[in-house]
Structure 1
Amino acid sequence: MTDSIRTTAMNVPHASNATNAAQPNDGTASRGDRLSSNLTTFAAAVASFLAGMDVLIVNVALPTIAAELGGDMAVQQWVVDGYTLLFAALLLLAGSLTDRFGAKRLFLAGATLFGAASLFCSFAWSMTALVAGRCLLGVASALILPASMALINEANPNPRRRSWALTLWGAGGASASAVGPLLGGLLTPIHWSLVFDINVPFCLMILAVAHWIKPSPHRAIRFDWLGQTLSLIGLTALVAGIIEVGSIGFAVPATLALLAAGLIALAAFLLSQKKVAAPMMPLNLFRVRGMQVALQIGFIMIFNWYGMVFICTMFLQNELHMTPFAAGLVFVPSAFVTIIGNLAGGQIINARGSKFSITLGLAIMIVGFLIEFLTPAPIPVWVIATGLSVVGFGAAITTPSAAGVVLKSVDSAQAGIASAMFNTFRQVGGAIGVAVFGVIATFLPSLTLALRSVFLASAILLAYVLVFELLRWRDR
Structure 2
Amino acid sequence: MTRAAPPGEAASDFTQPGSATATLLAALLGFFVVTLDAVIVNVALPAVRADLGGGIAGLQWVVDAYTLAFAAFLLSAGSLADRIGAKRAFGWGVGGFVAASAACGLAPSLAMLVGFRLVQGTAAAVVMPSSMALIGQAFPDPVKRGRAVAWWAMGGAVASSAGPVLGGLLTLASWRWIFLVNVPVGAAALVLLVRVGRSARHRAPFDWAGQATGAVAMAALVFGAIDAHRAGPALVVSGIAGVAFAVVQARAKHPMVPPALMRTRAVVVAVVIGFAFMVGYYGMPFVVSLLLQHHGLSALDTGVVFLPMMLTGLVLTPLVPRLVECAGARRVVVSGLLVMTIGLAAVAETAGSAPVWATAALMVLVGLGGPTVIPPVIAVLLAAVPGKQAGIASGVLNTSRQLGGALAVAVFGALLSAGIASGTRVSLLLAAAVAVLAALTAYKGLSRKDRR
The alignment's TM-score, normalised by the length of structure 2, stands at 0.94
Match of 1:134 among 105, 111, 117: 117
1:288-327 matches, within 5 Å, as 288-318=264-294, 320-327=295-302
Q: Assess if the C-alpha contact under 8 Å between 1:16 and 1:154 holds in 2.
A: no
| Correspondence 1:273 to 2:246 | no
Q: Distance in 1 between matches of 2:339 and 2:326?
A: 18
Q: Distance in 2 between matches of 1:328 and 1:69?
A: 22
Q: Assess if the C-alpha contact under 8 Å between 1:16 and 1:412 holds in 2.
A: no
Q: Distance in 1 between matches of 2:21 and 2:370?
A: 24
Aligned match of 1:427: 402
Aligned match of 2:56: 73
Q: Distance in 2 between matches of 1:384 and 1:292?
A: 34
Structure 1 residues 15 and 331: alpha-carbon distance in aligned structure 2, compared to 1, 3 A threshold: farther
Q: Distance in 2 between matches of 1:373 and 1:75?
A: 24
Structure 1 residues 168 and 160: alpha-carbon distance in aligned structure 2, compared to 1, 3 A threshold: same
Which one-letter code corresponds to 1:274 in the other structure?
A
| Correspondence 1:463 to 2:446 | no
Q: Aligned-residue CA RMSD in angstroms? A: 2.0
Alignment partner of 1:92: what SS? helix
Structure 1 residues 183 and 15: alpha-carbon distance in aligned structure 2, compared to 1, 3 A threshold: farther
Which one-letter code corresponds to 1:169 in the other structure?
W
Alignment partner of 1:215: what SS? coil
Q: Distance in 1 between matches of 2:171 and 2:152?
A: 27
Which one-letter code corresponds to 1:464 in the other structure?
L
Cα deviation for residue 21 of structure 1 reads: 8.2
Q: Assess if the C-alpha contact under 8 Å between 1:65 and 1:192 holds in 2.
A: yes
Aligned match of 1:451: 424
Cα deviation for residue 437 of structure 1 reads: 0.7
Cα deviation for residue 377 of structure 1 reads: 6.1
Residues 331-363 of structure 1 show CA distances to partners (whole Å, capped at 9, x for unaligned) of 111222111121111111222222222122212
Structure 1 residues 92 and 377: alpha-carbon distance in aligned structure 2, compared to 1, 3 A threshold: closer
Match of 1:169 among 128, 152, 156: 152
Cα deviation for residue 302 of structure 1 reads: 1.0
Q: Distance in 2 between matches of 1:184 and 1:230?
A: 35
Residues 369-428 of structure 1 show CA distances to partners (whole Å, capped at 9, x for unaligned) of 233234486132222212222211222111110101111121222211111100111111
| Correspondence 1:371 to 2:346 | yes
Which one-letter code corresponds to 1:438 in the other structure?
G
Identity in percent = 37
Q: Assess if the C-alpha contact under 8 Å between 2:10 and 2:201 holds in 1.
A: no
Which one-letter code corresponds to 2:33 in the other structure?
L
Residues 117-144 of structure 1 show CA distances to partners (whole Å, capped at 9, x for unaligned) of 1110111000011001101110110111
Q: Distance in 1 between matches of 2:311 and 2:53?
A: 34
Structure 1 range deviating more: 291-300 or 118-127: 291-300
Structure 1 residues 19 and 404: alpha-carbon distance in aligned structure 2, compared to 1, 3 A threshold: farther
Alignment partner of 1:212: what SS? coil
Q: Distance in 2 between matches of 1:413 and 1:61?
A: 40
Aligned match of 2:322: 347
Gaps of 5+ in 2: none
Q: Distance in 2 between matches of 1:89 and 1:258?
A: 16
Any runs of at least 4 consecutive aligned residues in structure 1 with deviations exceeding 3 A, and if so which?
Answer: 14-24, 373-377
Alignment partner of 2:312: what SS? helix
Match of 1:284 among 246, 253, 260: 260
Q: Distance in 2 between matches of 1:332 and 1:60?
A: 12
Cα deviation for residue 92 of structure 1 reads: 0.5
Q: Distance in 2 between matches of 1:66 and 1:460?
A: 31
| Correspondence 1:125 to 2:98 | no
1:169-188 matches, within 5 Å, as 169-188=152-171
Cα deviation for residue 22 of structure 1 reads: 4.2
Which one-letter code corresponds to 1:75 in the other structure?
G
Residues 296-334 of structure 1 show CA distances to partners (whole Å, capped at 9, x for unaligned) of 11101112222111111110112x111111111111112
Aligned match of 1:334: 309
Structure 1 range deviating more: 107-116 or 367-376: 367-376
Number of residues paired by the alignment? 445
Q: Assess if the C-alpha contact under 8 Å between 1:178 and 1:332 holds in 2.
A: yes
1:379-394 matches, within 5 Å, as 379-394=354-369
Residues 58-107 of structure 1 show CA distances to partners (whole Å, capped at 9, x for unaligned) of 11111111111111111111111110111100011011111111000010
Q: Distance in 1 between matches of 2:80 and 2:249?
A: 17
| Correspondence 1:238 to 2:221 | yes
Aligned match of 1:111: 94
Q: Assess if the C-alpha contact under 8 Å between 1:358 and 1:398 holds in 2.
A: yes
Aligned match of 2:205: 222
Aligned match of 1:85: 68
Which one-letter code corresponds to 2:347 in the other structure?
E
Q: Distance in 2 between matches of 1:182 and 1:191?
A: 14
Alignment partner of 1:147: what SS? helix
Cα deviation for residue 460 of structure 1 reads: 1.3
Q: Assess if the C-alpha contact under 8 Å between 1:100 and 1:218 holds in 2.
A: yes
Aligned match of 1:99: 82
Alignment partner of 2:40: what SS? helix
Q: Assess if the C-alpha contact under 8 Å between 1:174 and 1:392 holds in 2.
A: no
Q: Distance in 1 between matches of 2:194 and 2:31?
A: 19
1:58-69 matches, within 5 Å, as 58-69=41-52
Alignment partner of 1:234: what SS? helix
Alignment partner of 1:330: what SS? helix
Which one-letter code corresponds to 1:66 in the other structure?
R
Alignment partner of 1:461: what SS? helix
Which one-letter code corresponds to 1:51 in the other structure?
V
Q: Distance in 2 between matches of 1:20 and 1:349?
A: 33
Alignment partner of 1:209: what SS? helix
Structure 1 residues 16 and 294: alpha-carbon distance in aligned structure 2, compared to 1, 3 A threshold: farther
Which one-letter code corresponds to 2:311 in the other structure?
F
Alignment partner of 2:200: what SS? coil
